[in-house]
Chain A
Amino acid sequence: MAEEAAAEVIWNKETVPKVMKIVSSTLPQRDLITLLLVSPSIHRTLLSHPSLWLVLDFHEMSNAGDRLVSALSLPRYHSVKHINLEFAQDIEDKQLENVKSKCEDSLLDLEILNLNGCQRISDKGIEVVTNTCPKLKVFSIYWNVRVTDVGITHLVKNCKSVVDLNLSGCKNITDKSLHLVADKYQELESLNITRCIKITDSGLQRILLNCSSLQNLNLYALSTLTDEAYKMISRLPHLRFLDLCGAQNLTDDGLSCIAMCKNLVSLNLTWCVQVSDVGVIAIAQGCRSLALLSLFGILGVSDRCLEVLSSFCSNTLKTLDVNGCINIKVAVFSANIFA
């Protein structure tokens, strides 16, 4: 019986907590926290591993502002690195002010902040929150039309290390923001300005001039840009992902310059209606690591560009979308072409 009791103690105090710790890194937040309540030994073991407590996830939760304040008041979150408030409710400027006044010190190590879909946050909220997290590297606030150049001014003033910026759908951002970003974030690696319809060639040009570390650039639905900007994409030697969906002014000349980005892996040319075989052939010859290419809706491409693609990119190209390309006569697109 004594042996049984001893075995039970080892099971409870060592074996189970150790397994829980190993498996915990794969558990969603809620289950991780449920585990804290299961036994004192598990509680102690999990709390002694700071790496488990670097993320706070409130996506789609109600009362997100209050929840954030409660969580940040716990010592285990004082070095939190990643906060996700995507589509969270009840997170507005005044909750962010509350966070700043109550938990200012807990955000000093924050690197990733996701405010996607937090539509009620305005420039004021951005001023407040960026003031608390000087080490921010990744900032995402898609689909927020209240954010203006003023908010971006606060961001660049407070956070010097941003390398990933997502302003998709922030329709009130203008070239002024891009000039600020280009001047302050020269190490920028990812930029998403999908649907930022006030942006013109001037804003994009400054980015392309200064941010030569860019790997991911998303210009989806920016139909007023022209070759004057597109040609300068050639200045990005590390570019891997480029989305030009809807670039109706992009011509073969512009695309031929883009073909100088030899590390391009993913290229979306959906609805780039002025592009023809000439431009696509330039891409095929220049971008030998291409894995994904969309030519959706482009009438000016024919079988000719497919031949060139298959002779230059067959090793890497996995996805090719030629929907609506009525001048491509190959009826069944078989894998043999890229064998």
Chain B
Amino acid sequence: MDMDMDMDMDTKKKCTRFFINDNMDVLIEILKRLDEKSIGVAACVCRLWCALTRNDALWEHLCFRQLSPPREGVRTVVAALGGYRRLYTLCVKPVLTRLGKRKDMWTTHEVDLSLSLFCVDYYERLFLAGAATPPSSLIFLCKAG
């Protein structure tokens, strides 16, 4: 019994010395597996976590996690258009909600559609829209479905 308690103490010491904030790769691995709501919650924990959740690679993983084969070559495009986080919140999430799809049932079709809508929005936002006319192509996605 004594030996067990000693071992418990040892492991406890070892456990308490493990700060998740020191092991960012582990943290990122964990965050990668979350859904967007949890990521949002995680962003409120501390400044480090907030910065990590803004990392676009995380959101890219979120967008394309379920796809096989994974989408190559889109990264520069999406980065130019405003990043994966924006893509997800603006297009992917509403698209999937509207289609009623669960997260493990995405296909390239949904992704392509989201990307197309994203492009249209970018085009409108940056080029067509003045102060008076906000970009409107994606308004239909904003309405309560």
Whether A associates with B in a native complex is no
